[in-house]
Structure 1
Amino acid sequence: MRSIRTSAPRRRGRRSTPAATGLVAALALTATACGGSTDDKADPKKPGFGASQAADGGAGKAQIPAGIADNLEEHGIDVDKWKAGGWQDWDKGKWLSEAGNYVNPVIEGLWKPERMRSAEEADKTLSTKDATVAQGVGDPEPGPVEAQAEQTPYHANAAPVGKVFFDSPEGTSVCSGTVVKDVNHPGRSNLVRTAGHCVHAGGDGGWYRNIVFVPAYNDLGRSEAELSNANASEIAPYGNWWADRASTSTGWIEGGVQTGGAGAPYDYAVLHVKPEQGDKSLEETVGTALAVDFSAPSAAGAGRTGAWGYPAAAPYNGLRTFKCLDAPGRFSLASDLPSMHRIGCTMTGGSSGGGWFRVVDGETVLMSNTSIGPIDNTWLAGPQLGRDAEALYQNMSRTYGDR
Structure 2
Amino acid sequence: MSPISRPSRAVLGASVAALTMVVATACGPDNSDPANGAQTTAPTVAATGTDKPGAAPIKLPTLDEVKKWKPEDWENWAKTNVITPAVKGYWDLQKILKAKPSKPGPGKQPTGQPTAAPTAQPTAAPTSAAPAQPTTQAPAQPPADGGNDPKPALVQEKPVPHPFAKNFNVNGKLFFMDGNDEYVCSGTVISDPANPGKSNLVWTASHCLHGGKGGKSHTNIVFAPGFNSNGALSGGKQATLAQAEPFGEWGATAGIVSPTWAGEADPENGGPWSQYDFGIIRVANPDGSNKSLEETVGGSVPVWFNAPRDQITAVSSYGYPAGKPFDGMELEHCDAPKPVRTSLDASRPAMLTIGCNGTGGDSGGGWFAMKDGKQVLVSDTSIGGFDNTWEAGPYLDDVAAKALDYISKKTK
TM-score range, shorter chain: 0.7 to 0.9
1:105 to 85, 102, 110: 85
1:244 matched to 2:253: yes
Check 1:194–1:44 CA distance in 2 against 1; reply closer, same or farther (3 A cut). Answer: farther
Match of 1:380 in 2: 391
Q: Does 1:307 align with 2:287?
A: no
Q: What residue number does 1:297 align with? A: 308
Is the CA contact (8 Å cut-off) linking 2:317 and 2:365 kept in structure 1?
Answer: yes
Structure in which a larger fraction of residues adopt helix:
1
The answer to whether the 8 Å contact 1:217/1:236 transfers is yes
What's the counterpart of residue 292 of structure 2? 281
C-alpha deviation, 1:397, in angstroms: 0.5
For residue 3 of structure 1, the aligned residue among 7, 10, 27 is 10
Shift of 1:344: 0.8
Shift of 1:114: 1.4
Do structure 1's residue 162 and structure 2's residue 172 form an aligned pair? Answer: yes
What is the distance in 2 between the residues matched to 1:309 and 1:370?
8
Amino acid at match of 2:105: T
Partner of 1:29: none
- State the distance in 1 between where 2:384 and 2:255 align: 24
In 2, the alpha carbon distance for the partners of 1:45 and 1:235 equals 46
Aligned to 1:89: none
| Cα deviation, residue 167, structure 1 | 0.4
**Distance across 2 between alignment mates of 1:267 and 1:388:** 11
Does structure 1 residue 172 correspond to structure 2 residue 172?
A: no
Q: Which runs of 4+ in 1 moved over 6 A?
A: 43-48
CA distance in 1, matches of 2:380, 2:398: 16
Query: Partners in 2 of 1:217 and 1:102 — Cα distance?
Result: 26
Report if the CA contact (8 A) 2:234-2:330 is conserved. no
Cα drift, residue 358 of structure 1:
0.8
Q: 1:378 is matched by which residue type in structure 2? A: T
Alignment check: 8 A CA contact 1:106 1:276 kept: no
Q: Which residue of 2 aligns with 1:147?
A: 157
Tell me the CA shift for residue 287 of structure 1. Answer: 1.1
Aligned to 2:96: 116
Helix, strand or coil at the partner of 1:158:
helix
Give 1:48-127 correspondences, 5 Å limit: 99-100=78-79, 101-126=81-106
The match for 2:118 is none
Task: Tell me the percent identity.
Answer: 35
Correspondence for 1:254 among 242, 253, 263: 263
Q: d(CA) in 2 for partners of 1:47 and 1:272?
A: 24
CA–CA distance in 2 between the matches of 1:194 and 1:275? 18
Matched, 1:357 2:344: no
- Aligned residue number for residue 31 of structure 2: none
What's the offset of the Cα at 1:362? 1.6
- Whether the aligned pair in 1 keeps the contact of 2:185 and 2:361 (CA below 8 Å) is yes
3-state DSSP class of the match of 2:216?
coil
- In 2, are the aligned partners of 1:331 and 1:341 still within 8 Å (CA)? yes
Residue in 2 that maps onto 1:82: none
Aligned to 1:263: 273
Distance 1:5 1:339, change over 3 A: closer
Q: What is the rounded CA distance, in whole Å, between the counterparts of 2:394 and 2:379 in structure 1? A: 6
RMSD: 3.0
Equivalent in the alignment of 2:241: 232
Compute the displacement of 1:360 (Å): 1.1
Unaligned runs of 5+ in 1: 13-36, 51-66, 76-97
Tell me how far apart the structure 2 counterparts of residues 207 and 187 of structure 1 sit (CA, whole Å).
Answer: 29
Q: Return the letter of the residue paired with 2:227.
A: Y
Post-superposition offset of 1:263 = 1.0
Residue type matched to 2:99 in 1? A
